[in-house]
Structure 1
Amino acid sequence: MATNSRLIKDSLLPEGKEDEELLKIIKAEGFKDYEITMSSGAERGDNFTGTLVNIEVKGHSENGEAKQLNLITKCSPRLGDFRNMMPITQFYIIETFMYDTYFPAVFNILKEYGLDNDKALRTKLFSIPKVYGASAEPMDEFMIMNNKKCENYKMGNRMEPLDDAHCRLVLKQLGYLHGLSYALKHLYPEKFAEIAKTFASCNVFENAPEQMVAIYRAHITGLVEMGKTTLDPETNQLEIDKIVEFSKIAFDEYMMGLLRDRSKFDPKYSVVIHGDAWTNNFLFKYDELGNLTDDMVFLDFQLSRCVSPAIELLYFLAVSVSTELRKNSYNELLEIYYSRLSEMLFKFNLEPYEVLPRTVLESDMKKFGGYMIVVGAQALAFHTSKSEDIPDFQTMTLDESEKFMLEAKKMSKNDSCQSRFKGIILFAIEHGFI
């Protein structure tokens, strides 16, 4: 790894190759003289597999014109036992693959079908950041991208569910995202098979260390069982009994089972998903009056994989949608997603009822519905806690893992987490998910 760099010294970048790559980017962008300003790009709790650093480059071109480049760098954690407990390198391998191989493939079919000139589609289709440099080398993992926040995109408040309009927009864009994947799958089956094979070979949890699995199992099981404390024994004893029984199988069947065992998903209907569709991985753009537009950016593809699209929807509905909207508009939200999926498929002359029948989607939502409870138990404690209340698990040692679990349970007792987790449990039981 690079050492003694003038960029690393007194900066937020870790020791690694990020600084070398940054200098190459600056040179390639035609800066003659420049100044670099760095600042933290996230608070604790905003990102869980890396440190984000904003990088502003100001200078001049060869002909003396003023230039500015706004980047954001995501660097992997390099200290503590967190690296040994999580497949950090594989996370970065997957994200690099998504930007280098997968998205060029799906955007290429838009071009081949003349859809890149479809102005109506272009104005409402999601976008992704431009990647200037990346590495998945162990202990040197990073991504350097353009900072979309400097282009008037904004991120929501991770501590609150998204409102109605934002939820509907995300579901539309997920429909387009999945529709493009299905188009690639049906129009270029050999190419898609290669992509699916890559995901299978990079299954981030298939070879997870057993010590990590044991710690994680105890952690998730405890958090799910704590769901009973959100319910009133006088009116919800049946639901309490169900969540206690569910906690016994939650981790192995609905967390590690779904992450490790590809045979649980029908390959006919599997599609490439984002995998981590929550508030901090979306950027939204607003017009001059502050109204939400269709312009939206997806971020962070480290958990992308090839599975049922129901997994994506269950995750999003659990961690980013309010109890009220999920309860009152579930079927409508599914329809928004499916209509945009269908719209994209029609543009490639594909029939939705053949590619992904609505009945299959609804069946998978029910079959894998317990996933909602598991991800809710895992994520909401962090999503609803203030940054200063979240432990620094990236520097955590294995000896501190028990302390970490106790802190997570403590965080899960805040009122917002309790209320939202209760909503997920009651919703899952009402819809027969568990």
Structure 2
Amino acid sequence: MATTAELSADALNNLCQRYHEHNTQSTRPRTLEVLSYEHSSNADTVAGFLGRHQFLTLKVRRIDVNGQEHYEQIRFFTKSPPLELASRMEYIEEFGVFKKEVAVYRELMPELQKIFPIIAPKCYYADEQLLVFEHLADQNFRMGAGRDGLLNYEHLHCILKSLAALHASSIVYEASCGRKLNELHPEAVVENSYPKGISENHVRKRNFNNGNCVFLELIKLLPKYQEKLDYILREFPKRMAAIFELVQTSDKYLNVFSHGDLWANNIMFQYGKYGESPLQSRLVDFQLARYAPPMVDLITVLTIPTSSSFRKQYLPELLSDYYHFMAEFLKCKQLNIESFLPREEFYETAEKFRIVGLIESLLFSHLTDLPTVLTENLTSSANGFSDFFDAKRVEICLEAFRTDDIYRERLTDMLQDFIDNFVLDISI
């Protein structure tokens, strides 16, 4: 059972009231009473290592306007900091992820969802220690990628509508307020993934450097690059470091509220009763939100869960899909996309930020694509967490590369795309 320190009786009743206000058509008053609740653990996975995921189940007595008594059970999804592991909590506090997500859901997301409600799960409660969301799984939402982390065209097309709604809502919100979003809600968009001017000892710079150590060792195993190996090993980290500038708020291009963390496990898809085709999607985990050009999000979500051969075939079409969605969302609010994101600028940013998609793909996937047998113990203890990020990262990733076909194929594909186009191509 949860302790009253997590949610007071008043907070639980207010939570229940907000749930009914959001999910019933009637605005007439009703009596609601929370009879009991249980806060039970969800199996913690690599996808949730920056937060504790649980289910909150309320048993509720409701008296309707006709005096009829009803008993209901309502289930929510909750996130809280992983307080049980000091080393992980220290990482999260320096990273600033939970504080960021609270700011997003308490201040900004309610405003954006008034404009377009199809962006993210509804959040019914947000404080410094707890976030309480609608439970998307109860509405037939689930993740869409398999072990390889890849998504097909149908799923990506579905994502682009939600992403366009997110970005368009940012434009509409700014237009209605007459101020920039990073002035209105600075805490919700502070850059915490790749902060400018950070020291070598900062947790994000250490993570970046540790990732590069892995990539350099993997490159040494690729026969294709042996003749130019010294040059590649020298230049590769320099080209990777471009991300620290590229993801910042732009002085040249349109900026929008951006998710900043768009890999497959941060997108939930709703499916029909009988088919495998997604009906709609929701974006989750806004811990790395930023204020940046929309292409930073877009090229990331079109790169991390795709292969180079898929992008060669479908990237132009998917970019066009997104632009069409954006235009339609803005049009329904009496705004013209050309006034904010001209087509010429859109495709200019597609070229400029393509490298960001590959850098993010490498930095995410060398950890998220690790086989379960190598990761199942890594986030369950203080030593395991430290090994995952620092001490044994190279060793763990090399073992996966040698023994797991999926991991080897995915990382080889990303490395080759990056090296061929952004290290060996001297025109870049």
**TM-score, normalised to structure 1's length?**
0.79
Q: Residue 275 of structure 1 contacts residue 305 of structure 1 at CA under 8 Å; is this kept in 2?
A: yes
Q: 2:299 and 2:348 mapped to 1: Cα distance?
A: 12
Gaps of 5+ in 2: 17-31
Q: Residue 393 of structure 1 contacts residue 404 of structure 1 at CA under 8 Å; is this kept in 2?
A: no
Higher relative contact order (CA 8 A, sep 6+): 1
What is the CA deviation profile of residues 281-340 of structure 1, one whole-angstrom value per residue up to 9, with x for unaligned ones?
A: 222122232253533222111111101112112321232224432221111111111111
The reply to whether residue 156 of structure 1 matches residue 167 of structure 2 is: no
Provide the secondary structure at the position in 2 that maps to 1:220: helix
Q: Residue 172 of structure 2 contacts residue 330 of structure 2 at CA under 8 Å; is this kept in 1?
A: yes
Gaps of 5+ in 1: 1-5, 9-15, 111-124
Q: 2:33 and 2:48 mapped to 1: Cα distance?
A: 31
Among residues 158, 161, 166, which one is paired with 1:172 in the alignment?
161
Q: Taking structure 1 as reference, are residues 326 and 28 closer, same or farther at Cα in structure 2, changes over 3 Å only?
A: closer
Identity rate of aligned residues, in percent? Answer: 20
Among residues 371, 378, 400, which one is paired with 1:392 in the alignment?
378
Matched letter for residue 54 of structure 2:
V
Q: Residue 126 of structure 1 contacts residue 298 of structure 1 at CA under 8 Å; is this kept in 2?
A: no
The reply to whether residue 25 of structure 1 matches residue 12 of structure 2 is: yes
Q: 2:271 and 2:138 mapped to 1: Cα distance?
A: 13
The reply to whether residue 189 of structure 1 matches residue 178 of structure 2 is: yes
Q: Residue 101 of structure 2 contacts residue 188 of structure 2 at CA under 8 Å; is this kept in 1?
A: no
Q: 1:37 and 1:431 mapped to 2: Cα distance?
A: 49
Q: CA deviation at 1:33?
A: 2.6
What is the CA deviation profile of residues 233-271 of structure 1, one whole-angstrom value per residue up to 9, with x for unaligned ones?
A: 2xx5688677534422145322x4445x54xx2354111
Provide the secondary structure at the position in 2 that maps to 1:33: strand
Q: Residue 71 of structure 1 contacts residue 145 of structure 1 at CA under 8 Å; is this kept in 2?
A: yes
What is the CA deviation profile of residues 213-249 of structure 1, one whole-angstrom value per residue up to 9, with x for unaligned ones?
A: 553243121133245257442xx56886775344221
Among residues 334, 349, 352, which one is paired with 1:349 in the alignment?
334
2:395 counterpart residue number = 406
What is the CA deviation profile of residues 156-208 of structure 1, one whole-angstrom value per residue up to 9, with x for unaligned ones?
A: 23523112210111122212221222222344332635236445656465386
Q: 1:399 and 1:293 mapped to 2: Cα distance?
A: 37
1:13 counterpart residue number = none
Among residues 353, 376, 379, which one is paired with 2:361 in the alignment?
376
The reply to whether residue 424 of structure 1 matches residue 419 of structure 2 is: no
1:55 counterpart residue number = 56
Q: 2:9 and 2:289 mapped to 1: Cα distance?
A: 26
1:34-49 aligned at under 5 Å gives the runs: 34=36, 36=38, 38-40=40-42, 42-49=43-50
Q: 1:268 and 1:189 mapped to 2: Cα distance?
A: 18
1:93-172 aligned at under 5 Å gives the runs: 93-109=99-115, 126-136=118-128, 141-157=129-145, 159-160=147-148, 161-172=150-161
Q: 1:383 and 1:193 mapped to 2: Cα distance?
A: 30
Matched letter for residue 2 of structure 2:
L
Q: Residue 370 of structure 2 contacts residue 397 of structure 2 at CA under 8 Å; is this kept in 1?
A: no
Matched letter for residue 47 of structure 1:
G
The reply to whether residue 290 of structure 1 matches residue 275 of structure 2 is: yes
Q: CA deviation at 1:71?
A: 0.9
The reply to whether residue 65 of structure 1 matches residue 57 of structure 2 is: no
Matched letter for residue 126 of structure 2:
A
Q: 1:58 and 1:376 mapped to 2: Cα distance?
A: 43
Provide the secondary structure at the position in 2 that maps to 1:126: coil
Matched letter for residue 33 of structure 2:
F
Q: 2:262 and 2:283 mapped to 1: Cα distance?
A: 9
1:115 counterpart residue number = none
The reply to whether residue 76 of structure 1 matches residue 81 of structure 2 is: yes
Among residues 7, 15, 19, which one is paired with 2:2 in the alignment?
7
Q: 1:86 and 1:99 mapped to 2: Cα distance?
A: 18
2:22 counterpart residue number = none
**TM-score, normalised to structure 2's length?**
0.80
Q: Residue 31 of structure 1 contacts residue 60 of structure 1 at CA under 8 Å; is this kept in 2?
A: yes
Q: Taking structure 1 as reference, are residues 298 and 280 closer, same or farther at Cα in structure 2, changes over 3 Å only?
A: same
Matched letter for residue 391 of structure 2:
E
Q: 1:184 and 1:426 mapped to 2: Cα distance?
A: 41
Equivalenced residue count is 396
2:25 counterpart residue number = none
Matched letter for residue 174 of structure 1:
L
Q: 1:45 and 1:182 mapped to 2: Cα distance?
A: 34
Q: 1:238 and 1:357 mapped to 2: Cα distance?
A: 43
Q: 1:321 and 1:223 mapped to 2: Cα distance?
A: 21
2:211 counterpart residue number = 220
Q: Residue 178 of structure 1 contacts residue 273 of structure 1 at CA under 8 Å; is this kept in 2?
A: yes
Q: 1:200 and 1:34 mapped to 2: Cα distance?
A: 37
Q: Residue 236 of structure 2 contacts residue 419 of structure 2 at CA under 8 Å; is this kept in 1?
A: no
Q: Taking structure 1 as reference, are residues 27 and 273 closer, same or farther at Cα in structure 2, changes over 3 Å only?
A: closer
Q: Residue 39 of structure 2 contacts residue 56 of structure 2 at CA under 8 Å; is this kept in 1?
A: yes
Higher alpha-carbon deviation: 416-425 or 338-347: 416-425
Q: Residue 257 of structure 2 contacts residue 290 of structure 2 at CA under 8 Å; is this kept in 1?
A: yes
Provide the secondary structure at the position in 2 that maps to 1:55: strand
